[in-house]
């Protein structure tokens, strides 16, 4: 009888340890999942179904990251334009073809402008969803 109780106690301890490990693992996995960037498909699903503050904050985070990437790209294009200004690869073609030539300062400045404008739009989307998250949080607390 004593032996059976001893084994049951050990089994209970092992089960509790496994449950603790599983809950910590599940919490860590959920936190990691929230930190993982959204795919385009996940973004589209969230855009269609977002209701909670957390949903809107994930969307806002996506757009903030997108804006940062676009700003980095714009800055890189501006650096390349500065290099091409100092040493144009094909001045005659660029003067004749402009941005359509695809190599030169005007081309780089064009894409820098496009990326900067897209970054501004992404920032606006992020701000919109941050505001929606605040409104959803207020609605939840008002219930």
Q: What was the pLDDT predicted at 13?
A: 67
Same domain, 30 and 45: no
Same domain, 48 and 31: no
Same domain, 51 and 5: no
Same domain, 69 and 129: yes
Same domain, 32 and 48: no
> Backbone dihedral region of 37: left (phi > 0), alpha (psi from -120 to 50 degrees) or beta?
beta
Q: What was the pLDDT predicted at 104?
A: 82
Q: What was the pLDDT predicted at 37?
A: 82
Confidence grade of residue 102 (pLDDT, cut at 50, 70, 90): low
Same domain, 76 and 96: yes
Confidence grade of residue 76 (pLDDT, cut at 50, 70, 90): very high
The total of structural domains in the chain comes to 2
Range from 2-11, 42-51, 108-117, 120-129 carrying the lowest mean pLDDT: 2-11
For the segment 100-106, the average pLDDT, to the nearest whole number, is 74
Q: What was the pLDDT predicted at 100?
A: 61
Same domain, 76 and 137: yes
Give which of 111, 84, 88, 117 is closest to 99, Cα–Cα.
111
Same domain, 7 and 43: no
pLDDT tens string 29-47? 444 455 678 888 999 999 9
Distance CA 126, CA 109 (A): 26
Containing structural domain, residue 23: 1-36
């Amino acid at each position: 009888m004593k032996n059976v109780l001893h084994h049951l106690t050990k089994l209970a301890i092992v089960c509790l340890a496994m449950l603790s490990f599983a809950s910590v693992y599940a919490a860590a996995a959920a936190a990691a999942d929230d930190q993982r960037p959204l795919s385009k498909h996940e973004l589209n699903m969230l855009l269609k179904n977002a209701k909670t503050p957390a949903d809107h904050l994930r969307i806002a985070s996506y757009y903030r990251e997108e804006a940062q990437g676009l700003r980095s790209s714009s800055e890189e294009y501006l650096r390349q334009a500065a290099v091409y200004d100092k040493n144009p690869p094909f001045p005659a073609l660029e003067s004749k073809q402009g941005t359509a030539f695809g190599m030169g300062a005007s081309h780089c400045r064009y894409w820098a402008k496009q990326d900067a404008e897209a970054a501004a739009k992404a920032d606006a989307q992020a701000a919109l969803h941050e505001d929606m998250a605040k409104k959803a949080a207020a609605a939840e607390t008002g219930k």
